[in-house]
Amino acid sequence: MKVATLGNGAGMEIIDADFGPLGRIALKAIFRIPVPIREAVLFGRSRFCLPLQKLFVRALGGAYLVQTRFTEGPMCGQRFACLTSEKYFLLGSHIESDVQRVFSVSVKPGDTVYDIGGHAGYTSLLFSALVGPGGRVFTFEPSPANYERLCANMDANQKQNVTIIKAAVSSHTGVAVLKECGCMSALVSGADEVSRATSEVKTITIDDFVSRRRNPAPDFVKLDVEGHAGPVLEGMASVLNSKRPAIICELHDPAEDEHVKRILAEARYRVSPIYTHRQFPRHALAAPQ
């Protein structure tokens, strides 16, 4: 039986999805728009972006999981399950293209990469392709919902060089409260978020993961933990001073930005912004001096 596909015009095709007449009209209309304009209209800084996102998702019949396949780039041919409301679905292999260009230059075959904040596994699939069969990817994801999706996406592509750790990376080992919010799930104070959906999760440090658990230290680190990057870096001080990995960090607010820069300056790292269209969230590249 032939499987129906629909290209999203961004290096990805949607596999055998029945969106209904209104949904297909909406998809074909949005997929004709060049990706940079599509990103600016739906995910930019305008106050109209969120209402437009909601309108688009409503036309599709809601936010639900669909199967996709990459049609270009390092992940070409790999499958990826994502929600119709997510950036992955609309931007495909072009998502955060400026950051992906840094990945492609910084990560080499045979490298060990730590993907801290793995979400559904998009960057883990990319890193797996970049490091090749001789490299390793360690993906850290504390959210039970995200962890399930992450494992499913790695299994669908039979990834042998990706190891998934169900834990939050922090400055200490123990337990913490995680506010469940999809790709924006974040560690919080339990007292601050008693009315939200939360999970109790295990916390680990990178220094402990490397030294006590005898895992290979990273050559490259991707860090996206929704405001918690400072404590993560505090918990990998030994690795920063010994292995000296390059780091890409997503910064979400001025407090996180200041905390991260202070720690990296003390570890003798040079921090450079990666071009984005907004102040926060934004990405920075940290390289050892």
Q: What is the pLDDT of residues 178-214, one digit of tens each?
A: 887 766 667 776 545 555 678 889 999 999 999 999 9
Picking from 67, 259, 226, 54, the residue whose alpha carbon sits closest to that of residue 142 is 226
Task: Assign domain 96-288 one CATH number from 3.40.50.150, 3.40.50.300, 2.40.128.20, 3.10.20.30.
Answer: 3.40.50.150
In whole angstroms, give the CA distance from residue 246 to residue 163: 20
Q: What predicted TM-score, i.e. pTM, was given to this entire model? A: 0.93
Count CA atoms closer than 13 A to 168's CA, side-chain side.
29
Residue that has been written with the tokens 């658990």 in this structure: 213
| Tokens, residue 233 | 């870096």
Cα separation of the two ends of the chain: 57
pLDDT (0 to 100) of residue 197 = 76
Sheet holding 112-116, edge to edge: 162-165, 136-140, 112-116, 220-223, 246-251, 282-288, 269-273
Domain residue ranges of the chain, discontinuous segments joined by +: 5-93, 96-288
pLDDT (0 to 100) of residue 20 = 84
Tell me what percent of the residues of the chain surpass a pLDDT of 90: 79
Sign of CA dihedral 16, 20, 24, 26: negative
In whole angstroms, give the CA distance from residue 185 to residue 128: 23
Q: Going residue by residue through the chain (289 aa), what tens digit of pLDDT does each one get?
A: 445 688 999 999 999 667 888 888 899 899 999 999 999 999 888 899 999 999 999 999 899 999 999 999 999 999 999 999 999 999 999 999 999 999 999 999 999 999 999 999 999 999 999 999 999 999 999 999 999 999 999 999 999 999 999 999 999 999 988 887 766 667 776 545 555 678 889 999 999 999 999 999 999 999 999 899 999 999 999 999 999 999 999 999 999 999 999 999 999 999 999 976 677 889 999 999 9
pLDDT (0 to 100) of residue 189 = 60
The residues with which 164 forms a beta bridge, in sequence order, are: 139
Sheet holding 186-188, edge to edge: 168-169, 198-204, 174-179, 186-188
